[in-house]
Structure 1
Amino acid sequence: MPESDAIKFERKRIRKFEKEMALRAWSKEKDELAKGWIDDEAKQKARKLKQGAIYLCKLGENIGSEMNTDEGGLRPVLVVSNDTINNTADNVAIVPLSKQLKYYLNRKKQKMPRYNSHYFLFKKHYPFLNYDSAVKCEEIRSVSKIRIDRKLGNVEPKVLQKILTCINWVTTGKK
């Protein structure tokens, strides 16, 4: 039985209210992050984050299908900016990880990313991750170092190169 217009309207009203509350909560948290940056700017700028390292990060509450912070306030992210930028800039380029793997099975029954912009990191190879994860290269963004929390671990250089190839595909359409 299809939903009535009244039920659809009510569902949208509830979603809007929930989003408004989440954005208000994030605004308060963002205020605290900004004050923390001002209080400790030199220390934050001096942080030596590493390309190819996975950290927990406060992405906050975002709009539409942009990636939000995960449950618990933090989401794993991979730092993809080069170490010269990471050692000198206030911000770093990251790509978020998601536990939702969109895949197909190849002939060997292995899970393969459905999208060229995704790269899979499996927990059996990366025990510091809580889940098998998709690196979502289409979600690349710059974040302030103050948003970066603790380091979880690193990906191998050859895996990092494959992820950078996915990012190249996102920006140029070429692998």
Structure 2
Amino acid sequence: MRPLKWNKDKNIRDSGHWLASKIELIELKDEILKNNQKANIKRGGIFNVELGRGNIGAEKNKLRPCLIISRNILNNGQTVVIIPLSTKFDYKLISLKKVPRYKNHFILFADEYSFSRDDLCLKCEDIRVIDKVRIKDHLGNIKKFHLDMVKKRILFTLGF
């Protein structure tokens, strides 16, 4: 893996900017609950999600696409389980095709998913729970057989 780039001062500045954005999200929370917005979020959906700024180390941050992986019945609550997508990932070329370097990663190729100009990687070690207020626009859905492959990588990541 590539060495982690860490800039403490930038991280502190980003945390300050994120606080103002977080307050806006908190204000939106009441409206979302009252109007039952975001009620139709389903497993396999890919949404832009505001993950914040100033996160620590390798934690994913900023607005980025994320895959919903929680069960649909659980998605009726206030939180969902997601995996952020990243344009930065390690891969090897096999027969001129990108293959993830790690068994817990899965690549969504841009030529199969029109919502991205770049290939995107699901890094299953980055699973996290978020409040639905962080969810922005719906970008698309992952193909069923790709979701099945992601499931295998999640199980590998968690050691089941």
Q: TM-score normalized by structure 2?
A: 0.90
Structure 1 portions without partners, runs of 5+: 1-11
Aligned-residue CA RMSD (Å): 1.5
> Paired residues, what number?
154
Residue among 66, 69, 84 paired with 1:80 = 69
Paired position in structure 2 for 1:9:
none
Preserved contact between residue 53 and residue 78 of structure 1 (Cα < 8 Å) = yes
Alignment of 1:19-98 (within 5 A): 19-44=11-36, 47-61=39-53, 62-69=55-62, 74-86=63-75, 88-98=76-86
Paired position in structure 2 for 1:157:
144
Paired position in structure 2 for 1:126:
113
Note the C-alpha offset of 1:45. 6.1
**In 2: Cα distance, 1:40 partner to 1:156 partner:** 29
Q: SS in structure 2 opposite 1:116?
A: coil
Q: Deviations over 1:131-169 (max 9, x none)?
A: 111011110001111100000011111110110111111
Preserved contact between residue 32 and residue 133 of structure 2 (Cα < 8 Å) = no
Preserved contact between residue 97 and residue 135 of structure 1 (Cα < 8 Å) = yes
Q: Which has the higher helix share?
A: 1
Read off the aligned partner of 1:113 and give its amino acid letter.
P
Note the C-alpha offset of 1:22. 0.3
Note the C-alpha offset of 1:44. 4.8
* Residue 100 of structure 2 is aligned to residue 100 of structure 1: no
Q: SS in structure 1 opposite 2:73?
A: helix
Structure 2 portions without partners, runs of 5+: 1-5
**In 2: Cα distance, 1:53 partner to 1:18 partner:** 32
Change (3 A) 1:110 1:43: same
Read off the aligned partner of 1:57 and give its amino acid letter.
V
Q: Which has the higher strand share?
A: 2
**In 1: Cα distance, 2:151 partner to 2:143 partner:** 12
Q: SS in structure 1 opposite 2:15?
A: helix
